[in-house]
Amino acid sequence: MDAIAAKILQTPEDFRDAGLIAPALVPALEAVAARYVAAVTPILQTAIAETGRDGPIARQFVPSPAELNVAADERADPIGDAVHSPVKGVVHRYPDRVLLMPTHVCAVYCRFCFRREAVGPDAGLMSAAELDAAMAYIARTPAVWEVILTGGDPLVLSARRLDDIVRRLDAIPHVRVLRVHTRVPIAVPERIDGALIAAFRTSGKAVYVAIHCNHPAELTREVIAACARLADAGFGLLSQSVLLKGVNDSVETLAELMRALVAARIKPYYLHHLDLAPGTSHFRVPVAEGQALMRVLRTRVSGIALPTYVLDIPGGFGKVPVGPAYLAPVIDAVAQDSYAVEDRMGARHIYPPVPE
């Protein structure tokens, strides 16, 4: 693997030659490659070498024949982007914020991606006319307070393109917040350089960067340094993680991940329940198990290290918190307007106490 450590792995042959798949799997992975794009950057190859070819990093990025098994409840657009897209490249699901997707290219391609049917080099960039139409929509929609740059990964774009997008959004008075959803600090930390940071520092808006990170082994020295450059530039840092079988479905791993994020000045934001994208059922964790993990996690880590466990309702109905419930009404004529409340250790208390 060291001999090709500088190469981005993309084809089944690349993964075979790097020792990440058995040669016998190449034909099956050709069928996977015909449908879903793959790419693993050098720094993630190193992380795979350190955690094993069957470990949590390889599982996220190395193609598997299991991706050919499409369950009946899986769908190409699992969270309903299309039904909320008024113009190409814009998703307007919630009143005060929109997604703007200037590219569908990523630095790496997660095997569980909810947009896996849409992303890849062939999808490319928005054209100039498409970007103009997207900007015009945002400009004529005064309810839009926040623009979320996503895709694809917006940070694969050149600093020049990013600067143009930021300046155009900066000229729209009702847009007050820019948020960037990205894997680039994890996959290509050297990309977080002065030119990229300068493209966002030109903005008069508040800028937040939401970093997708699922396992503590992703937070290498280089990644932490890249995140520090963003934090030192004044950007708010958030994290998004996906609950994944065989990757982070244990309290120990989640606690280590969330603490490591906070130590890197990244606020854990969302822990996503896996979306129903095609060929991803081998990553699924039952909702009840996710709730149980969150219940125990609350007893292990600081409040600033707790993400919100959310599920995106299929069909475009938005995300909702699905964490464990700690409060339930007391059905008792004497104790009207009272509630049974569980503390973090599971003991039940009545709130407010019934007057004597």
Query: Which residues belong to the active site?
Result: 93-94, 97, 106, 110, 113, 115, 275, 312, 319
> d(Cα 81, Cα 93) in Å, to the nearest integer?
8
Single out the residue of 228, 238, 170 nearest to residue 200, CA to CA: 170
Alpha-helix runs per DSSP H in 175-275: 184-187, 194-201, 221-232, 251-263
Q: Is 178 helix (H, G, I), strand (E, B) or coil?
A: strand
> d(Cα 37, Cα 342) in Å, to the nearest integer?
46
Long-range CB contacts for residues 54-57, cutoff 8 Å, separation at least 24: 55/217, 56/214, 56/215, 56/217, 56/246, 56/247, 56/248, 56/253, 57/215, 57/217, 57/218
- Using alpha carbons only, give the angle 293, 268, 217 rounded to the nearest 5 degrees: 80
- Give Dmax (Cα) for the chain: 77
